[in-house]
Amino acid sequence: MSIDLTSTATPEALVAIFRRVLEHDDVAAHSDFFELGGDSLIATRVLSAIARDYGVELTFDDFLLAPTPAGLARRVAGTA
Amino acid sequence: MSGPAPHHGGVTSAVVVGAGLAGLTAATGLAARGVAVTVLEARDRVGGRTHGIAAAPGTQVDAGAAYLGGRHTELLALMAELGLKTTPTTMLGASRFGLGTAHTTQDGRFPPLNAVALGDLFEQLAELTEAVRPDAPWLTPDAERLDTLTAAEWAEQNLAHPDARLFFPLFLGEMMAADPAEVSVLHVAFYLRSGGGLRYLNAFEGGAQQDRVDGGAHQLCERLADRLGPRVRLGEPVRAVHQDAGQVTVRTDHGEHRADVAVLALPPLLADAIEHHPALPVRRAGERTARGCAVKVHLVYPAPVWRDHGLSGWSVNARGPLLSTVDDSPADGGIGVLTGFVTGAEAHRFAALDPEQQRATALRQAAELFPMLPDPLGCHVTDWVNEPYSQGCYAALLGPGDWLRLGPSLTAPHHRVHWAGTETSTAYFGLMEGAIRSGHRVVAEILARR
């Protein structure tokens, strides 16, 4: 599996990850993951996808502090 | 209800073997359409893998199947018909975890393990789950390879992080009472898909553990059996099923029962233990089909005292016997009940202990896990692994080779013998919902006979 460290975690890219793991399209940049029906199990899938796509390992607490596509994109940018 | 209609392809009588949810659903459906039914049950009780035990005088708890969710539509319909209500499974407060050297308390259900590593595990499981053919797992792309591989071998090849390796057997134990060494990875993927997917099957609120049957799930079968009355015969283990051109003869230790058709509403290992004439073209269980490994431990407290400490009662533990605990207190505000789940390989070890050792080890662990709580008033152990007339719980575990060999004949009648039981339902396999759906299917099959 290749990690493209040059790619940027945009809110749009995070929206796509949310849509895939939540299995519905009703996701916007500022949608709250848990209000969209997410739970801790599928939150870890988002963290795994972020690690795979951007080479950044966020913790579960990081996720809880910013559980939106836009918030997570900022976290990834800040850590990368 | 319309009056009896006597002719369904000539079927006027049926013997149903097994008075669990599948058998009693089938018997009730056939009786409602004018078929004369006899239900033969080996035990001295109905209910099969649902069973109520007295945790305190007048308070029954689920020693067997317990949980349901909103997608379990046939179960909810049956409950409504029988006048039974749901009660929510409560999950408010902090969890206890025993995953390292010490026990820790944390908000929510998320274990203190590497989140990315667990995410990698669930991403891979989700991919397998989405790829499986839910109606016919043996036709899944790459089925041959997935059917050959055990879940333990799959984990060895695919899980790099120690936290993922630690959590995977706990997850399989909790989801399907399986030791990863005993199940094929195809069966894992199928089971997760059949139950509604990873998230639904794992979730309490909004998932498969959202509710319980108020007063106990055993009431479902008791009420169905009450309606059938003397047509249900207890203490009648079936030994043989003989078919001739016209009828089927079901033999027990006490006599013979002849009918136009028979319904075997049994787990596959038990269906195979019966002598069949003519012989079955494909057996019901394979070489590697294993017993679901679950032992339930009920710890009884004067009240749900953990709630006073801000705890939900939920815990996850790497060391047994209690690999997880959940608040199963009755809704009436009386006693508190923590249910400990002993599953997978740990269930085999625990089941081999004598009853005193079982209670002592369970109580010792409860004291370590919840040192803030008083000692339980009672401790009840229900061993499904060694239960002769279930041979495991939650459900049979299909091992390497089983799905490809057994799958195509899962529901195919053997002349006048039809198959029911939760293991014959590709929807909600292993759950009460699957048992009921299999009962409905078999009624439709029999009414359509020519």
**Per-residue model confidence (pLDDT) at position B101:** 83
Q: Residues B389, B287, B174, B436: is their CA dihedral positive or negative?
A: negative
Å between A30 CA and nearest CA of chain B: 22
Neighbours of B135 (CB within 10 A): 9
- Contact between chains at B122 and A41 (C-beta distance less than 8 A): yes
- Across chain B, mean pLDDT equals 95
- Contact between chains at A59 and B199 (C-beta distance less than 8 A): no
B418 touches B15 (CB < 8 A): no
B27 touches B16 (CB < 8 A): yes
Measure the CA–CA gap between B407 and B390, rounded to whole angstroms. 21
Which CATH number does B112-202 carry? 1.10.405.10
- Contact between chains at B115 and A59 (C-beta distance less than 8 A): yes
Asked if residue A2 has pLDDT above 80, the reply is no
With an 8 Å Cβ cutoff, the interface of chain A facing chain B consists of: 21, 37, 39-49, 51, 57-60, 63
- Contact between chains at A47 and B108 (C-beta distance less than 8 A): no
- Confidence at B4, pLDDT banded by 50, 70, 90: very low
Which CATH number does B13-48+218-288+404-447 carry? 3.50.50.60
Asked if residue B433 has pLDDT above 60, the reply is yes
- Contact between chains at A57 and B116 (C-beta distance less than 8 A): yes
- Contact between chains at A44 and B109 (C-beta distance less than 8 A): no
Rounded to 5 degrees, what are φ and ψ at B312? -85, -15
- List CB contacts (< 8 A) between B109 and chain A: 40
Measure the CA–CA gap between B143 and B87, rounded to whole angstroms. 39
Closest CA to B195 of B441, B433, B436: B433
Measure the CA–CA gap between B123 and A44, rounded to whole angstroms. 9
- Closest residue to B198, CB basis, from A41, A47, A51: A41
Among B110, B125, B193, B204, the residue to mutate for chain A (most A Cβ within 10 A):
B110
Asked if residue B7 has pLDDT above 80, the reply is no
Token pair listed for A26? 């009703």
The 3-state secondary structure of chain A, one letter per residue: CCCCCCCCCCHHHHHHHHHHHHCCCCCCCCCCCCCCCCCHHHHHHHHHHHHHHHCCCCCHHHHHHCCCHHHHHHHHHHHC
Cis peptide before B321 (omega within 30 of 0): yes
The SS3 call for residue B239 is strand
- Confidence at B3, pLDDT banded by 50, 70, 90: very low
Q: What angle do CA B421, B126, B405 make, to 5 degrees?
A: 40
Among A17, A24, A39, the residue to mutate for chain B (most B Cβ within 10 A):
A39
Cβ partners under 8 Å of residue B364, min gap 6: none
- List CB contacts (< 8 A) between A57 and chain B: 116
**Per-residue model confidence (pLDDT) at position A78:** 85
**Per-residue model confidence (pLDDT) at position A79:** 66
Q: What is the ipTM of this complex?
A: 0.92
Mean pLDDT of B334-349: 96
Mean pLDDT of B170-190: 97
Q: What is the pLDDT of residues B130-171, one digit of tens each?
A: 999 999 999 999 999 999 999 999 999 999 999 999 999 999
User: What is the interface size between A and B, counted as CB pairs within 8 Å?
Assistant: 50
Q: What is the pLDDT of residues A14-70, one digit of tens each?
A: 999 999 999 999 999 999 999 999 999 999 999 999 999 999 999 999 999 999 999
B214 touches B331 (CB < 8 A): yes
Give the lowest-confidence range in B16-25, B31-40, B102-111: B102-111
- Closest residue to B108, CB basis, from A40, A45, A59: A40
pTM, 2 dp = 0.95
- Closest residue to A45, CB basis, from B108, B110, B122: B122
Measure the CA–CA gap between B342 and B7, rounded to whole angstroms. 49
Cβ partners under 8 Å of residue B3, min gap 6: B34
**Per-residue model confidence (pLDDT) at position A3:** 52
CA B121 to chain centre: 24
**Identity of residue A70:** A
- Contact between chains at A44 and B119 (C-beta distance less than 8 A): yes
Which CATH number does B52-72+86-92+206-214+293-383 carry? 3.90.660.10
- Confidence at B2, pLDDT banded by 50, 70, 90: very low
- Contact between chains at B122 and A57 (C-beta distance less than 8 A): no
First vs last C-alpha separation in chain B: 24
Q: What does DSSP say about strands B36-40 and B13-17: parallel, antiparallel, or unpaired?
A: parallel
Report domain extents, chain B: 13-48+218-288+404-447, 52-72+86-92+206-214+293-383, 112-202
- Contact between chains at B122 and A48 (C-beta distance less than 8 A): yes
With an 8 Å Cβ cutoff, the interface of chain B facing chain A consists of: 108-110, 115-116, 118-120, 122-123, 126, 198-199, 202-203, 206
- List CB contacts (< 8 A) between A59 and chain B: 115
Asked if residue B268 has pLDDT above 70, the reply is yes
